[in-house]
């Protein structure tokens, strides 16, 4: 009998976490093999390896403990990838050489699979003097553009884009440009962005007082604090960024405030970290721990919870010793403090099983009690590890116990730490769990509410066709199995109907016992008033949250849920009429273009592994309005087995190119083709099929001639395709599978069709 609770769970495992050879041949034959691989690897640092391998396997079994994706995919594979999810890079020096040294470090970290955060407040503002070269500084935003371009070219862990967080202090002279930077839908798309909001700033906002923007000791401008706050609010109201991080609150509560100052977070915001800080993540699946679900006696098995938490803490502590690190500074930082981020997933499902409405006062109280129990268990388990293996090297009992978080800790836990020390400086964090929640059977994600009770997902089959299957929330499926397909009780609520204030209430309840932070998205209806929207952020501040991220459907990032295909004509245009976008780069024409007598082009050689003969692609271009665009393609090979399909591909692609318009969707269609026999590794990247490789060559040509801005920037579907569903709102397509099925989950756009997430 399959261990998977839903077909999507097995598909996510196969696509994301199953260990395979370079040619796609599975090494993990079953999910039990994956659990065994992880358990064995994390037990190898123990003296009694066999005992702990079994304990770790039991924790992983049936998806009770869910290590983050990097651990699940990378542990025991001997690949050169880090098992850590989160990095904040070193402090960016205010010098050209230092800035580009930091850029190199970022590239090396993302190459091994790490998401990174940076504070750009340390770079002098635009227009400031640059001594010695008689020039003005270009400012931090210009260097962020450089980081963004670099990130586009780095494949994180060989399979996905790197994710980045950029922060800037609310008193930096360029803060207003930072706030509005992403109003341009093509700018800084590889970054999540958050403003570091200080306590004095919030006091000035409430008092409607003045606020100095300064760098070093120089005041560049003075503004009204409330005006600046309103600019932050307006930007996030209009296009969902920047987020807000209450940075003083984070530093005051930090267990390690005596040895570090935090100025940035990882890409999803749940892990505030010092320079070169690193943290790994994992989640307790609360949905698997509720006994007698939907009955009056429904309860969380707290004995099982305590044992599971203790095992999870030990596993995560072992990752610190078992993992590779992109940079030696990151390894030293991790070893000195042994930070881990144990969190939860399936909270909303567990509340439903107890008959509690997410967002109610009782649900908030229950959440606080559960998180308190997890935190107690985690800290006591870390004390036990300290008895056995020693406290973290920078432990100082007096200073540690005087920190903000530890002052509210239970006295027996404080006494144990005072006597024995503690192995891990910080232990709890609530991360985005979008993909691992699907892998666990579509449990609710992190501490988020259920996103939707059920939805229809398009599944790519091996023959290239797509079928539809229903994906049902884990708790909803349990209800159906127990009571049949009857109407759900009133306490079943989802993210689409929940008031924003209920989101904040739940975040604040969980935050009380989380020593790091929380990745949480507060979904807001599109018609929420601006004043009501601002109240959400002020509530988050007043209720003790460490940050706030909202998502309101908007024109830049699209709708919360999108399922329609694009229209056959642009808005306001008639079919066949010329239509120009971005200065004439895209021209739709009613008739195919005539071929000129002579064309300029390029020929590319594609060598597919295990193939005797190379494939040669010639792509010729035409110039329209001073801009080059692709006109035709020729695909040739000495391998006669390729003859029929290469000829067909030549004719079809050339016919599409000649009709005009934004033909970049051809690239994305080809790149999405998966060969059921497996793909191949080409120049350090896994390519799922030879057709995908051809798509990659065409994409590179389009970049070379300026038709595309960069890799992955093409359309995901034909802009002149027939409309499938005009009733549903339209938004962004998934960059992995091309489906219009992206939703905002815990601050990350996540595809419900394939599980792709920018953040992991």
* pLDDT grade for 371, boundaries at 50, 70 and 90: very high
From CA 84, how far away is CA 334, in angstroms rounded?
10
DSSP state of 638: S
* pLDDT grade for 575, boundaries at 50, 70 and 90: very low
pLDDT in tens, 678-692: 778 777 677 888 888
According to the model, what pLDDT value does residue 720 have?
57
Encoded tokens for 202 = 């919030």
Q: State the burial class of residue 314 (Cβ atoms within 10 Å of its Cβ: 0-12, 13-18, 19+).
A: buried
From CA 652, how far away is CA 659, in angstroms rounded?
11
- CA nearest neighbour of 711 among 649, 667, 755: 667
Mean pLDDT is highest, among 2-6, 234-238, 608-612, 666-670, for: 234-238
Encoded tokens for 508 = 């604040």
Instruction: Please give the angle made by the CA atoms of 549, 73 and 284, to the nearest 5 degrees.
Output: 55
What are the catalytic residues? Answer: 266, 268, 270
Residue 563 CA to its chain's centroid (Å): 21
Task: Reply yes or no on whether the pLDDT at 35 is more than 90.
Answer: yes
Sequence-ordered strand ranges (E) for 216-349: 218-224, 243-246, 264-265, 272-273, 278-285, 290-291, 299-300, 340-345
pLDDT, greater one: 554 or 719:
554
pLDDT in tens, 246-295: 999 999 999 999 999 999 999 899 999 999 999 999 999 999 999 999 99
List beta partners, residue 621: 600, 630
Sequence-ordered strand ranges (E) for 262-377: 264-265, 272-273, 278-285, 290-291, 299-300, 340-345
**Averaged pLDDT score across all residues of the chain:** 86
pLDDT in tens, 618-627: 999 888 766 7
Q: State the burial class of residue 395 (Cβ atoms within 10 Å of its Cβ: 0-12, 13-18, 19+).
A: buried
According to the model, what pLDDT value does residue 723 have?
38
From CA 392, how far away is CA 255, in angstroms rounded?
12
β-strands 627-637, 615-624 pairing: antiparallel
Is there a contact between 113 and 74 (Cβ–Cβ < 8 Å)? yes
Instruction: Give the mean model confidence (pLDDT) for residues 23-37.
Output: 94
According to the model, what pLDDT value does residue 166 have?
96
- CA nearest neighbour of 122 among 107, 105, 137, 106: 137
DSSP state of 16: I
From CA 397, how far away is CA 695, in angstroms rounded?
58
pLDDT in tens, 179-212: 999 888 778 888 999 999 999 999 999 999 999 9
Q: What percent of the chain clears pLDDT 70, i.e. is strictly above it?
A: 86
According to the model, what pLDDT value does residue 626 have?
66
According to the model, what pLDDT value does residue 129 have?
87
Alpha helices in 569-709 (DSSP H): 643-658, 665-671, 690-704
Other beta carbons less than 10 A from residue 721's beta carbon: 12
Range in 88-92, 119-123, 500-504, 654-658 with the lowest mean pLDDT: 654-658
Q: Helix, strand, or coil here: 467?
A: strand
Instruction: Give the mean model confidence (pLDDT) for residues 344-348.
Output: 97
Sequence-ordered strand ranges (E) for 374-497: 454-460, 466-472
Instruction: Please give the angle made by the CA atoms of 303, 309 and 314, to the nearest 5 degrees.
Output: 135
Is there a contact between 606 and 697 (Cβ–Cβ < 8 Å)? yes
From CA 441, how far away is CA 434, in angstroms rounded?
11
pLDDT in tens, 522-546: 989 889 999 999 999 999 999 999 9
pLDDT in tens, 456-502: 877 666 555 667 888 999 999 999 999 998 899 999 998 878 999 99
Encoded tokens for 659 = 């009709």
Q: What percent of the chain clears pLDDT 90, i.e. is strictly above it?
A: 58
Q: What is the end-to-end Cα distance of the chain in Å, rounded?
A: 29
φ/ψ bin of 294: left (φ > 0), alpha (ψ from -120 to 50), beta (otherwise): left
Is there a contact between 738 and 669 (Cβ–Cβ < 8 Å)? yes
Q: Which residue's structure tokens are 């915001």?
A: 269
Task: Reply yes or no on whether the pLDDT at 75 is more than 60.
Answer: yes
pLDDT in tens, 99-113: 999 999 988 888 777
Helix (H) or strand (E) segment spanning residue 522: strand 522-523
* Angle between helix 199-207 and helix 225-239 axes, rounded to 10 deg: 100
From CA 453, how far away is CA 450, in angstroms rounded?
7
Q: Helix, strand, or coil here: 508?
A: helix
Q: Helix, strand, or coil here: 24?
A: coil
Q: Give me the DSSP letters along 534-574.
A: HHHHHHHHHTT-SEE-EE--BTTTB-SS--PPPPSS-TT--
Range in 127-131, 250-254, 255-259, 440-444 with the lowest mean pLDDT: 127-131
Encoded tokens for 527 = 């018609």
Encoded tokens for 10 = 């097995």
- CA nearest neighbour of 100 among 43, 157, 150: 150
- CA nearest neighbour of 654 among 632, 639, 635: 632
Non-local CB neighbours of 14 within 8 Å, separated by 6+ positions: 26
- CA nearest neighbour of 691 among 720, 652, 718, 656: 652
According to the model, what pLDDT value does residue 299 have?
97
Instruction: Give the mean model confidence (pLDDT) for residues 653-676.
Output: 82
Instruction: Give the mean model confidence (pLDDT) for residues 569-591.
Output: 30
From CA 325, how far away is CA 701, in angstroms rounded?
35
Whether residue 505 is preceded by a cis peptide bond, meaning omega within 30 degrees of 0, is no
- Number of H-type helices and E-type strands within the chain: 24, 32
- How many Cα atoms sit within 13 Å of 422 on the Cβ side? 32
Task: Give the domain ranges of the chain.
Answer: 580-704
Three-state DSSP string of 640-673: HHHHHHHHHHHHHHHHHHHCECCCCHHHHHHHCC
DSSP state of 514: -
From CA 342, how far away is CA 316, in angstroms rounded?
8
- CA nearest neighbour of 160 among 117, 118, 111: 111
Q: How far is CA 741 from CA 112, 162, 460, in A?
A: 28, 21, 14
Q: State the burial class of residue 404 (Cβ atoms within 10 Å of its Cβ: 0-12, 13-18, 19+).
A: middle
């Amino acid at each position: 009998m399959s261990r998977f609770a839903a077909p999507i769970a097995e598909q996510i495992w196969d696509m994301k976490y199953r260990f395979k050879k370079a040619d796609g041949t599975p090494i993990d034959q079953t999910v039990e093999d994956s659990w065994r691989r992880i358990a064995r690897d994390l037990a190898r640092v123990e003296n009694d390896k066999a005992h702990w391998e079994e304990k770790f396997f039991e924790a992983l079994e049936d998806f009770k403990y869910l290590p983050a994706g990097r651990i699940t995919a990378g542990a025991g594979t001997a690949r050169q990838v880090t098992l850590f999810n989160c990095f904040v890079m070193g402090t960016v020096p205010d010098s050209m050489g230092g800035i580009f040294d930091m850029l190199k470090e970022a590239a090396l970290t993302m190459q091994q699979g790490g998401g990174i955060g940076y504070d750009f407040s340390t770079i002098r503002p635009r227009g400031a003097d640059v001594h010695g070269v008689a020039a003005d500084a270009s400012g931090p935003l210009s260097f962020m553009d450089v980081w963004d371009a670099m990130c586009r070219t780095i494949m994180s862990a060989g399979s996905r884009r790197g994710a980045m967080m950029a922060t800037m202090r609310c008193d930096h002279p360029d803060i207003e440009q930072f706030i509005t930077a992403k109003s341009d839908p093509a700018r800084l798309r590889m970054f999540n962005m958050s403003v570091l909001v200080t306590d004095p700033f919030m006091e000035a906002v409430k008092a409607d007082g003045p606020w100095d923007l300064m760098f070093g000791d120089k005041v560049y401008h003075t503004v009204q604090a409330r005006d600046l706050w309103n600019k932050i609010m307006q930007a996030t109201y209009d296009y969902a960024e920047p987020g807000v991080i209450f940075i003083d609150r984070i530093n005051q509560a930090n267990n390690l405030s005596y040895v570090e100052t935090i100025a940035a977070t990882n890409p999803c915001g749940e892990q505030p970290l010092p320079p070169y800080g690193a943290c790994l993540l994992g989640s307790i699946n609360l949905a698997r721990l509720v006994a007698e679900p939907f009955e009056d006696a429904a309860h969380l098995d707290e004995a099982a919870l305590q044992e599971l938490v203790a095992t999870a803490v030990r596993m995560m502590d072992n990752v610190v010793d078992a993992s590779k690190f992109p940079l030696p500074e990151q390894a030293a930082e991790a070893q000195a403090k042994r930070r881990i981020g144990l969190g939860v997933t399936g909270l909303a499902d567990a509340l439903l099983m107890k008959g509690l409405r997410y967002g109610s006062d009782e649900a908030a109280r229950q959440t606080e009690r559960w998180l308190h129990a997890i935190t107690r268990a985690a800290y006591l388990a870390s004390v036990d590890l300290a008895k056995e293996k020693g406290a973290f090297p920078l432990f100082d009992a007096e200073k540690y116990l005087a920190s903000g978080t530890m002052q509210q800790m239970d006295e027996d836990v404080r006494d144990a730490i005072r006597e024995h020390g503690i192995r891990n400086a910080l232990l709890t964090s609530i991360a985005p769990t979008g993909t691992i929640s699907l892998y666990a059977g579509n449990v609710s994600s992190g501490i988020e509410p259920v996103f939707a009770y059920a939805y229809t997902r398009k599944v790519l089959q091996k023959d290239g066709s797509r079928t539809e299957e229903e994906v049902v929330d884990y708790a909803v499926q349990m209800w159906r199995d127990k009571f049949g397909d009857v109407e759900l009780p009133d306490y079943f609520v989802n993210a689409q109907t929940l008031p924003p204030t209920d989101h904040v209430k739940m975040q604040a309840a969980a935050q009380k016992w989380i020593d790091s932070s929380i990745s949480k998205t507060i979904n807001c209806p599109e018609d929420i008033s601006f004043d009501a929207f601002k109240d959400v952020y002020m509530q988050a501040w007043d209720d003790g949250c460490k940050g706030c991220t909202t998502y309101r459907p908007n024109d830049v990032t699209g709708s919360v849920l999108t399922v329609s295909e694009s229209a056959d004509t642009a808005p306001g245009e008639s079919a066949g009429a010329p239509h120009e976008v971005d200065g004439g780069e895209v021209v739709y024409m009613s008739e195919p273009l005539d071929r000129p007598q002579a064309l300029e082009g390029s020929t590319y050689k594609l060598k597919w592994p295990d193939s005797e003969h190379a494939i040669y692609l010639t792509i010729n271009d035409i110039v329209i309005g001073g801009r080059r665009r692709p006109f035709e393609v020729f695909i040739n090979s000495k391998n006669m087995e390729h003859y029929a399909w290469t000829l067909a591909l030549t004719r079809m692609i050339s016919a599409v190119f000649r009709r005009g318009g934004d033909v970049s969707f051809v690239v994305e269609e080809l790149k999405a083709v998966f060969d059921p026999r497996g793909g191949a590794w080409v120049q350090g990247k896994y390519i799922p099929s030879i057709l995908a490789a051809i798509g990659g060559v065409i994409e590179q040509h389009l970049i070379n001639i300026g038709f595309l801005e960069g890799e992955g920037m093409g359309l995901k579907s034909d802009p002149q395709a027939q409309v499938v569903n005009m009733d549903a709102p339209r938004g962004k397509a998934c960059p992995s599978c091309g489906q219009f099925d992206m939703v905002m989950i815990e601050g990350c756009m996540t595809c419900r069709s394939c599980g792709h997430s920018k953040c992991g």
